[in-house]
């Protein structure tokens, strides 16, 4: 009799405990919401950056303290202050402007990423306008309050700077 009860308990566990449930659509909906939240966080960061009187401070407000930046032709910027220095150096270029736009996001657990394209406009030594088109990937960390902040930002150009057609 004990064997029969044990076998019945195991059978019930296998039947109900390991069977697929209706939770999968809820999980997928949660992932879609997280992806949308990441795209929105990326867009909000650009909005803050592009409309602020101090764009580097506005950008850094979206970074965690131990963030890293992997910029082209530069060592890894470790931490928020070194990351700030990368963006400040870019902004010091004559005629500098930056635009970017996320095109994809994904998330799992407390990490997510966005990828997209950017354009830097600047000037050559003679003052002629140049454009640098490129791509980026930003790794985001979910904060205890549910917001997303940048943990790692990496970007590189599609090629050398090109003259801007007028």
Q: Per-residue pLDDT for 36 more than 90?
A: yes
Instruction: Walk me through the domains of the chain, giving residue ranges and CATH numbers.
Output: 24-163 (3.10.450.50)
Region 62-90: mean pLDDT is: 97
> Which residues, at least 6 apart from 140, have a Cβ–Cβ distance to it below 8 Å?
38, 41, 107, 111, 112, 113, 114, 148, 149, 150, 151
Q: Per-residue pLDDT for 85 more than 60?
A: yes
Percentage of residues of the chain with pLDDT beyond 70: 82
pLDDT digits (tens, 9 = 90+) for 74-83: 999 999 999 9
Region 83-92: mean pLDDT is: 98
Alpha-carbon span 76 to 86, nearest angstrom:
10
Token pair of 25 as six digits? 């659509």
Alpha-carbon span 104 to 115, nearest angstrom:
5
Tell me the pLDDT band of 7, cut-offs 50, 70 and 90: very low
pLDDT reported for residue 29: 64
14 DSSP 8-state letter: I
Region 140-158: mean pLDDT is: 97
pLDDT reported for residue 5: 41
The pTM score is: 0.81
Q: What residues are paired with 148 via a beta bridge? A: 142
Q: Looking at per-residue confidence, does 128 or 16 come out higher?
A: 128
For the beta carbon of residue 146, count every other beta carbon within 10 angstroms: 7
State the Cα angle at 128 between 123 and 130, rounded to 5°. 50
Q: Is 132 helix (H, G, I), strand (E, B) or coil?
A: strand
Q: Per-residue pLDDT for 49 more than 50?
A: yes
Q: Could you tell me which of 66, 101, 113, 69 has the C-alpha nearest to residue 88?
A: 69
pLDDT reported for residue 11: 45
pLDDT digits (tens, 9 = 90+) for 117-138: 999 999 999 999 999 999 999 9
What is the chain's length?
Answer: 166
Q: Could you tell me which of 138, 120, 115 has the C-alpha nearest to residue 67?
A: 138
């Amino acid at each position: 009799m004990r064997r029969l009860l044990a076998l019945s308990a195991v059978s019930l566990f296998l039947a109900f405990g390991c069977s697929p449930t209706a939770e999968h659509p809820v999980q997928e909906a949660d992932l879609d919401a997280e992806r949308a939240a990441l795209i929105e966080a990326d867009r909000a960061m650009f909005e803050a950056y592009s409309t602020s009187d101090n764009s580097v401070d506005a950008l850094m407000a979206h970074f965690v303290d131990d963030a890293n930046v992997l910029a082209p032709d530069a060592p890894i910027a470790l931490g928020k202050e070194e990351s700030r220095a990368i963006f400040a150096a870019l902004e010091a270029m004559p005629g500098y402007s930056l635009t970017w736009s996320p095109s994809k996001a994904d998330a799992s657990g407390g990490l997510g990423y966005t990828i997209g394209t950017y354009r830097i406009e600047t000037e050559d030594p003679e003052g002629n306008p140049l454009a640098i088109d490129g791509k980026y990937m930003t790794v985001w960390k979910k904060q205890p309050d549910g917001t997303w902040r940048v943990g790692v930002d990496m970007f590189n150009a599609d090629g050398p700077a090109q003259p801007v057609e007028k």
